[in-house]
Structure 1
Amino acid sequence: MTFAVTVGGNSVECGEDQALLDACLRAGVWMPNSCNQGTCGTCKLHVVAGEVDHGSSPVETLSDEERCAGMALACQARPRGDVELRPQGTSAARTANPLRDMVGTVREVSDIARDTRRILLGLNEPLTFDAGQYVELVVPGSGERRQYSLANTADEDKVLELHVKLVPDGVATHGWLFDGLAEGDEVDISGPLGDFHLPPESEDDGGPMVLIGGGTGLAPLIGIVRTALRRHPAREVVLYHGVRGEEELYDGDRLTELAEQHPNFRFVPVLSHEPADGYREGFPTDAFVEDVSTARGWTGWLCGPPAMVEAGVKAFKRRRMAPRNIHREKFTPADA
């Protein structure tokens, strides 16, 4: 059985066991989304008419008071009948890259840093996405899904690049991606997902940018930086990569080469716990505060552990960056 879901003047069909967000994205109708696990609250919306089943929506993200007030999490809620929705902060939905299910073939599995792997997945058909978005992988034999950001630019649409950090006892990493995954294996993929990406090129004024990634939070920033510099080769861009020690750094050669091609681009690796000659020490958010006296007019991009992202928001605001220009993607553990 399906129901009509109306959002921003668009009407899509949604199955009774299908999440509202999933139905809209598959129809190419944009709705705010980030974690798609019910933990971030980005997809919180108003149910203007009709009723929904909140499913496993965490009370920490959607309180009882909000439920009574007609709020819901689009990534968790299912329709009980025809419904009309209004995302927060917007009165109309816009076109999105359609969410699709695909099968990818493993092209490469390589160790690039301590407990970190690069995985390349080949597709039979191109995937339409924006640099910075992510895909979900289905863990074989479990039905569990795990999210991984794309390091690609939008034109690199037939071989997806993922950077994966080993999670001790992790269902996806410990039991699969770091133990048994091999070239030629087929992987079930859904994507693209997430709102962490540059604005359309027509709205990009080429202004200065600062990006801070923690660990494999570097992955989407690589795609975003390369896209930003392709659009405006002379723009000022600073990219910080924060890790515990030198053995966790990766893609330095790739980013150094990018800096040689674009004199206004700087790459700054920062080590927090294991100092080494030639590298900044401390936290990347502190390094930014030391380096930049004012970020008024800049855009900021943060990706990685929640604590680092929150520290980055404070650092950006301290340097007078407008809150509307701060973009963030938190890597929340799947069991959170």
Structure 2
Amino acid sequence: MAAAISVAGRRVECAEDQSILEAFLRAGVWMPNSCNQGTCGTCKVQVLCGEVEHRDSPLETLTEEERAGGLALACQARPLAETEVALPGSEMGRTTHMLRDLTATVVEVEEIARDTRRILLGLEEPLAFSPGQYVELLVPGTSERRPYSLANTAAEDKVLELQVRRVPGGVASDWLFGPVAVGDRVEVRGPLGDFHVPEEDKDEGEPMVLIGGGTGLAPLLGIARTALERHPDRVMVLYHGVRTESDLYDTDRLAELATTYQGFSFVTVLSRESLPGHRSGYAPDAFVEDVASARGWSGWLCGSPALVDAGVKAFKRRRMAPRLIYREKFEPADGRVPLPRYITNPQDGS
């Protein structure tokens, strides 16, 4: 049964099979979102009135105390009656790119590194998004969806570039490193996520450092190219951290950026090999060694939770303002265990 949900005066209908987050995004109403799996807690909202069912919200992300206090995960919860929620901050209910369902065609599958593929998806109509966001693919023959960051700029809106790392036993990996072929039709949902460059009128051309682990390079490519196009003289350094040289890719692409933009440079960092032309160790440590002060810089991190956490510490160590640190953690999608269902009614605390 559908129910109305509102935030900051914006009211939308939420279908029975939709989460609060999906209902708002499909209506073009912004809500903070990142993993959309219930693991990061980015989309927590305060239920002001009405009643929501928490469904599969994990207890480790939304505790019983938080539920009793009227908090909910918008990516998991759905309203059971007309409900109003509130968001932290001052950007409640702003306009965003509308969440859409599209059918794409696989136009290229390319091996680019060890256990890494580039997959290009052609669209019949453009998808509006902000560089750094991601889309979800429906795995054929299942009800499973998996997120993949876009390596595109906003102008590259009809052929989506995904950089995919093999996950042994992964539902999507078995497909994308198995029977997927050029010409296949793929169901795509997006855009999603808040990891993207600010709107152009907020971009002051500050120096930037970007650190990506493995395929965490993908969204950084779209972000870096967009930021450099806006301010060609911007100082920017990108660190790509991988295990071995066989895991590196797109170095020619990065070298071309360095040739085009005088202020851009990149560093490849190998954690399990020591080879000429590459740094050894971990990318956040390389940044600390290279930059004495990052005051006034913005920092961008994408990869495993360990890399992102280490990167945040490295940025703060070099005096980067926390408000200028942007991050995207690649959380594992497989193996989540559904937890008990809870209902929050802020009026009675149940």
Work out whether the TM-score is over 0.5.
yes
Contact 1:47 1:86 in 2 (8 A): yes
Give the match for residue 284 of structure 1: 283
| SS across alignment from 1:182 | coil
| SS across alignment from 1:273 | coil
Describe how 1:221-240 pairs up with structure 2 within 5 A. 221-240=220-239
Per the TM alignment, residue 267 of structure 1 is displaced from its structure 2 partner at its CA by: 0.8
| SS across alignment from 1:274 | coil
| SS across alignment from 2:211 | strand
AA matched with 2:244: G
AA matched with 1:250: Y
Per the TM alignment, residue 2 of structure 1 is displaced from its structure 2 partner at its CA by: 1.8
AA matched with 1:93: G
Is structure 2 residue 86 aligned with structure 1 residue 86? yes
Cα separation, 1, equivalents of 2:274 and 2:136: 35
**TM-score where L is the length of structure 1:** 0.99
Per the TM alignment, residue 91 of structure 1 is displaced from its structure 2 partner at its CA by: 6.2
Contact 1:240 1:270 in 2 (8 A): yes
Describe how 1:1-336 pairs up with structure 2 within 5 A. 1-90=1-90, 92-173=92-173, 175-335=174-334, 336=336
- RMSD of aligned alpha carbons: 0.8
Contact 1:8 1:91 in 2 (8 A): no
Cα separation, 1, equivalents of 2:89 and 2:96: 17
Cα separation, 1, equivalents of 2:28 and 2:76: 18
Cα separation, 2, equivalents of 1:160 and 1:8: 33
Cα separation, 2, equivalents of 1:128 and 1:272: 37
Percent pairwise identity = 67
Structure 1 residues 24-60: Cα deviation after superposition (integer angstroms, max 9, x where no partner): 0000000000000000000011011101000000000
Cα separation, 2, equivalents of 1:219 and 1:27: 27
AA matched with 2:153: T
AA matched with 1:306: P
**TM-score where L is the length of structure 2:** 0.95
Cα separation, 2, equivalents of 1:318 and 1:198: 23
| SS across alignment from 1:28 | coil
Contact 1:9 1:92 in 2 (8 A): no
Per the TM alignment, residue 89 of structure 1 is displaced from its structure 2 partner at its CA by: 2.7
Cα separation, 1, equivalents of 2:333 and 2:273: 27
Contact 2:150 2:162 in 1 (8 A): yes
Structure 1 residues 190-212: Cα deviation after superposition (integer angstroms, max 9, x where no partner): 00000000110011000000000
Contact 2:133 2:219 in 1 (8 A): yes
| SS across alignment from 2:45 | strand
Contact 2:30 2:92 in 1 (8 A): no
Contact 1:138 1:188 in 2 (8 A): yes
Cα separation, 1, equivalents of 2:96 and 2:167: 32
| SS across alignment from 1:247 | helix
Q: Which runs of structure 1 show a deviation greater than 4 angstroms over 4 or more consecutive aligned residues? A: none
The runs of 5 or more residues in structure 2 that have no matched partner are 337-350
Per the TM alignment, residue 90 of structure 1 is displaced from its structure 2 partner at its CA by: 3.6
Matched length: 335
Cα separation, 1, equivalents of 2:308 and 2:187: 30
Contact 1:272 1:283 in 2 (8 A): yes
Per the TM alignment, residue 257 of structure 1 is displaced from its structure 2 partner at its CA by: 0.5
Cα separation, 2, equivalents of 1:127 and 1:84: 30
AA matched with 1:53: E
AA matched with 1:323: P
